Structure 1
């Protein structure tokens, strides 16, 4: 059945506004309750053994597993050379004598093994002990958990804010390394982690909050910086495209273009590059599906669905791809809910945000039920109990 129902209108950005409090508008950053890192995290919904690799297997598969981020393999020789050029990279490494790089390589591989398998809480904890390079598996483990496994929206937001806070600490020190081809992937990936975290908060926050916290400028500038630092990174191009599409999602094409410089050509061109570089990455496909809906509503719905279905069929070889594949299925259920029950994309989005705010449920969690009309119409039935 064709889901191209009810021609979409670009004028459904009327005076409907989400309710926000004065406190929300004054708050520039989300306060982080450290207890969220001490409690036991939810487990991934698959056997970790599927993606648990030996050191030798990680070396062999590295280029494929890092095809999206292009992060260099953390060999002893690589670290020995880069630490000499950029001392900040060796700072904050715990229990290391500053000489045994082979031991340090083994420690990095242990953390990446946890990240690849989906042992996110331990990967975060151990990665934080390994300085700037350890931040990558650590913070991306936290990103994956926050987006796909946290039960609560409030927990998700705090974890994302914490990722942004930690990444931002390195911005000044990384400046000198931006033009170094050997270190640029590290710089770009840390910056991408920052921007991605902020973007995931902004995409579900009320527009007045997005404006008050200057999210759009922060995200758009960061997206451009990442592509400039690392043009060979597929996820950088996909993120830049997703940023412009996300702006159109919230304020419409006209306001997005005139006020924020968001353009459909940027979305199409950047996604084309990302898909050409690494068309087998699930998140690139499902984010392109989202972009088509954000830009054109129901006009390109069948094409959007085809990209979600493509993402669902990709065989994952590590945690990040596995969770992206699972979320593609859940997102498809939401898209169908919108297509079959709503004329206005704006109204669907507003009800979706209202449900999440009222219930504190994380709608991108792949371990919870897909959104339904009963949830949207009766959010009071789905409110999570207060934190213990």
Structure 2
């Protein structure tokens, strides 16, 4: 069973408004749930189970922006987020990062978009050191960037420590932030896979047992996370090899069987299904 086809990212200077001069690739499936400002608020706890984000008022532009995001209208959602200042930055960064990771086919554009997320979130963290959304999306972009340039190279540049510190801070501030648990779990496994358990523990403070504990806690907090299940499957193979192929496959099967609640989950379920076919 192959690893999930998560696409890499890289760095470029940020643009103040336009995320990409050319139109974004449309969401490829028509059967995704559609939301408006009212229905997105009603389904907010399920849609945002991975992180603790307050629901915006139904009359605010951000309610419409989040409805567009969950319906797969990532470009329009990002534009609304960018037009709403600091309050809209979580929407802008999430829509940009998820689109770039799953749908953008052009390597250079994908890398540029992740650079924008890194820089926007980094600027917000500098002004608001306890902003968990900014810390998380900064770390998400750094993680994908690290995969893009190779984890070993990213570690040599000090990006691993920055990513790990940001995720640990999110969990400290929001102990029920499921996505941060899952991302930090993946980091532990990825570093061990690239540099070995001994070097990983002594140099970066990563441990196999910590990775497993974080995955289990993250999926306890967000049991419908198809992305978390696939990352857990990857980690099991990285940490224990073919001996846990059966466990990894069962995680893929669970992810593939989920009923997507929104566009991002639809993308994850498709990845799980594709992984089981290969």
Q: Same fold (TM over 0.5)?
A: yes
The corresponding residue for 1:279 is 223
- The 1:207–1:123 alpha-carbon spacing in structure 2 relative to 1, beyond 3 Å, is closer
Per-residue CA shift, 1:203-233, capped at 9, x if unaligned? Answer: 2323553134211111111111111111111
Match of 1:270 among 214, 238, 241: 214
Q: Check the 8 A contact 1:150/1:156 in 2, yes or no.
A: yes
Aligned to 2:34: 52
User: Partners in 2 of 1:207 and 1:117 — Cα distance?
Assistant: 33
Q: State whether residues 283 and 324 of structure 1, in contact with CA within 8 Å, keep that contact through their aligned partners in structure 2.
A: yes
SS in 2 for 1:170: helix
Change (3 A) 1:36 1:173: closer
Match of 2:145 among 198, 201, 209: 201
Which of 12, 18, 27 is the aligned partner of 1:31?
A: 12
Counterpart position of 1:238: 182
Residue 68 to residue 275, structure 1, CA distance change in 2 (3 Å):
same
C-alpha separation between the residues in 2 aligned to 1:151 and 1:54? 28
Q: How does 1:205-244 map to 2 (within 5 A)?
A: 205-207=149-151, 209-244=153-188
Q: Tell me which residue corresponds to 2:110.
A: 156
Structure 1 residue 172, shift from structure 2 partner: 2.8
C-alpha spacing 1:208/1:273, structure 2 compared with 1 (3 Å): closer
Matches within 5 A, 1:169-188: 169-175=123-129, 178=130, 187-188=131-132
- In the aligned structure 2, how far is the partner of 1:209 from the partner of 1:269? 27
- Is contact 2:152–2:195 with CA below 8 Å preserved after alignment? no
Match of 1:43 in 2: 26
Shift of 1:241: 0.8
> For the residues of structure 2 that align with 1:272 and 1:39, how far apart are their CA atoms?
40
TM-score (norm 1): 0.65
Q: Secondary structure at the match of 2:242?
A: coil
Superposed displacement of residue 236, structure 1: 1.3
TM-score by length of 2: 0.89
List runs of 5+ in structure 1 lacking aligned partners: 4-28, 76-101, 179-186, 337-388
Contact 1:115-1:123 at 8 Å conserved across structures: yes
Tell me how far apart the structure 2 counterparts of residues 36 and 59 of structure 1 sit (CA, whole Å): 26
Task: After superposition, give the CA deviation of every residue in 1:5-40 in whole Å (9 maximum; x if it has no partner).
Answer: xxxxxxxxxxxxxxxxxxxxxxxx823486870101
1:110-189 matches, within 5 Å, as 110-175=64-129, 178=130, 187-189=131-133
Equivalent residues of 1:203, 1:246 under 8 A apart: no
2:152 & 2:273 partners in 1: Cα distance?
A: 31
Q: CA-to-partner distance for each residue in 1:285-337, whole Å, 9 max, x for gaps? A: 1111111112112121111111111111110111121111122233445xx5x
Paired with 2:257 and 2:96, the residues of 1 have a C-alpha distance of 25
Q: Distance in 2 between matches of 1:207 and 1:109?
A: 37
C-alpha RMSD over aligned residues: 2.0
Provide the secondary structure at the position in 2 that maps to 1:259: helix
Change in CA separation of 1:108 and 1:157 when aligned onto 2, cut-off 3 Å = same
Rg comparison, structure with higher value: 1
